[in-house]
């Protein structure tokens, strides 16, 4: 009766553990954010790559200031080995400059590193043109490289005609393409540093005193406006044109998660710049709506397994080998909406056992609202949670029993029995042949 009681106890433990899951209710969908007075918007998780929200994802837009993302990418990749090289600005480099500019002068000697920060931190167009000439020899050649790079990044709906974003009817992109380009730029440490600085202190040159280059992204720096500063943000780009509106691209981080957030084609009034308004709103929404959630916990007992040959126990508890957290909406009720499936290699175990010994596997699955099938969120090994000391006496008896049940032993017994029968039969025949004494 004792083994039966152990089995019933284990089954009761399993029912207690998983009963809430069998009564799980459908999950509620994450409420989508609202955006206003922008032409397109985008939010994704940097670490997982999950696209969390899009608004007009394929709408055709003017590239405006987002152009400088690609300008920086091409310039950094071409000139990264020459960053500390001093170069002389020429009148040819400055001949087409319009819009925002630092005020570089023909004959001024600067480093290539300075030009990167002039472009990325300050958003200055004279930095863009200087880098174009240094990286490709001419602006048309550099723009050709920009368009080629866009194609390699699968930004097939993007086209550039200049390295600054100054308006041109031929300069087009989408927020989806811009996200691909921004994600690539985010992998370049120099770009991340330059776009995340509040200011870059540029040393004096042969023609100008030392200058501070302030970041034009108001999420990063308060220099141009303190209304939109957000300490959770790093990089990437902000700016506007009259025809294309305001564009803001940034990465906002909370705990161990980062979100790429973009608003393009934003309107502006005396009260607000709506690209910033919407980006702030989308950041708050992402922070509130998603998180890393523990779906497997190493201290959670999954079941009890019977143990034989032990000194003092007849069962051992089994748990996940490690705690596993996955990216999920914050409204997912782990206790009710996550389902578990597990299996063990054997129905019972034999002592001795060591804590951490693998005895099976467990998986956690989740069916999101609107999806037909559940998705496996995480899997890991099942392990015993404590050492179990074996009994030498019981182990010897078990070995004897195992040997007695082995094929070799059974074959030997059968062989011996057959031989015995044969011997008896032969002896009986001999007696019969000889007759009575």
b/e map of 63-76 (b: 16 or more CB within 10 Å)? bbbbbbbbbbbbbb
Side-chain-side CA neighbours of 351 within 13 Å: the count stands at 22
Q: What is the average pLDDT value for the chain, to the nearest integer?
A: 88
* Class (C level, CATH) for 297-384: mainly beta
Rounded to whole angstroms, how far apart are CA atoms 113 and 307? Answer: 67
When pLDDT is averaged across residues 203-224 and rounded to a whole number, the result is 97
Per-domain boundaries in the chain: 40-289, 297-384, 406-434
**pLDDT for 243 beyond 80:** yes
User: Which pLDDT score, from 0 to 100, does residue 5 have?
Assistant: 40
**pLDDT for 153 beyond 70:** yes
- What is the bridge-based pairing of β-strands 349-350 and 303-308? parallel
**pLDDT for 335 beyond 50:** yes
Any idea which fold 40-289 has?
Answer: Beta-lactamase (3.40.710)
Residue 13's pLDDT band, with cuts at 50, 70 and 90, is: very low
User: Which pLDDT score, from 0 to 100, does residue 16 have?
Assistant: 36
pLDDT in tens, 258-278: 999 999 999 999 999 999 999
* Helix H or strand E encompassing 420: helix 407-434
User: Which pLDDT score, from 0 to 100, does residue 419 have?
Assistant: 63
Kindly state the tokens that stand for 29: 């969908």
When pLDDT is averaged across residues 418-429 and rounded to a whole number, the result is 67
Which residue has tokens 């082995």? 406
User: Which pLDDT score, from 0 to 100, does residue 428 have?
Assistant: 67
Contact 107, 132 (CB under 8 A): no
pTM (two decimals): 0.81
Residue 66's pLDDT band, with cuts at 50, 70 and 90, is: very high
**pLDDT for 416 beyond 90:** no
Contact 107, 92 (CB under 8 A): no
User: Which pLDDT score, from 0 to 100, does residue 426 have?
Assistant: 67
Contact 68, 171 (CB under 8 A): no
């Amino acid at each position: 009766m004792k083994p039966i009681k152990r089995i019933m106890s284990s089954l009761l433990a399993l029912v207690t553990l998983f009963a809430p899951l069998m009564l799980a209710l459908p999950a509620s969908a994450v409420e989508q954010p609202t955006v206003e007075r922008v032409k397109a918007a985008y939010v994704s998780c940097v670490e997982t790559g999950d696209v969390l929200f899009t608004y007009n994802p394929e709408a055709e837009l003017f590239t405006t200031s987002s152009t400088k993302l690609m300008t920086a990418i091409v310039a950094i990749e071409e000139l990264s080995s020459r960053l500390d090289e001093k170069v002389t600005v020429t009148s040819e480099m400055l001949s087409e400059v319009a819009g925002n500019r630092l005020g570089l002068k023909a004959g001024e000697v600067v480093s290539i590193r300075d030009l990167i920060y002039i472009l990325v931190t300050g958003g200055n167009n004279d930095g863009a043109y200087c880098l174009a000439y240094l990286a490709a020899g001419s602006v048309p050649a550099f723009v050709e490289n920009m368009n080629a790079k866009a194609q390699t990044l699968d930004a097939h709906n993007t086209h550039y005609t200049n390295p600054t974003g100054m308006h041109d009817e031929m300069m087009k992109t989408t927020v989806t393409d811009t996200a691909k380009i921004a994600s690539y730029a985010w992998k370049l440490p120099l770009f991340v540093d330059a776009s995340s600085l509040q200011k870059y202190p540029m040393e004096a040159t042969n023609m100008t005193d030392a200058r501070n280059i302030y970041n034009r992204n108001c999420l990063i720096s308060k220099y141009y406006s303190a209304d939109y500063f957000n300490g959770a943000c790093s990089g990437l780009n902000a700016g506007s044109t009259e025809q294309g509106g305001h564009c803001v691209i940034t990465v906002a981080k909370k705990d161990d998660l980062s979100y790429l957030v973009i608003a393009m084609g934003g309107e502006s009034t005396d009260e607000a710049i709506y690209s910033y308004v919407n980006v702030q709103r989308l950041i708050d929404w992402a922070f509130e709506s998603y998180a890393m959630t523990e779906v497997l916990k190493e201290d959670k007992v999954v079941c009890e397994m019977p143990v034989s040959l032990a000194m003092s126990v007849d069962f051992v508890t089994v748990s996940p080998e490690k705690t596993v957290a996955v990216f999920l909406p914050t409204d997912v009720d782990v206790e009710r909406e996550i389902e578990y499936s597990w299996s063990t290699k054997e129905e019972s175990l034999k002592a001795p056992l060591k804590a951490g010994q693998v005895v099976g596997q467990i998986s956690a699955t989740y069916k999101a609202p609107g999806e037909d099938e559940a998705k496996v969120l995480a899997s890991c090994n099942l392990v015993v949670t404590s050492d179990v000391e074996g009994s030498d006496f019981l182990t010897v008896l078990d070995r004897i029993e195992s040997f007695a049940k082995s094929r070799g032993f059974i074959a030997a017994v059968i062989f011996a029995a057959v031989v015995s029968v044969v011997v008896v039969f032969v002896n009986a025949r001999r007696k019969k042949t000889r007759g009575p004494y």
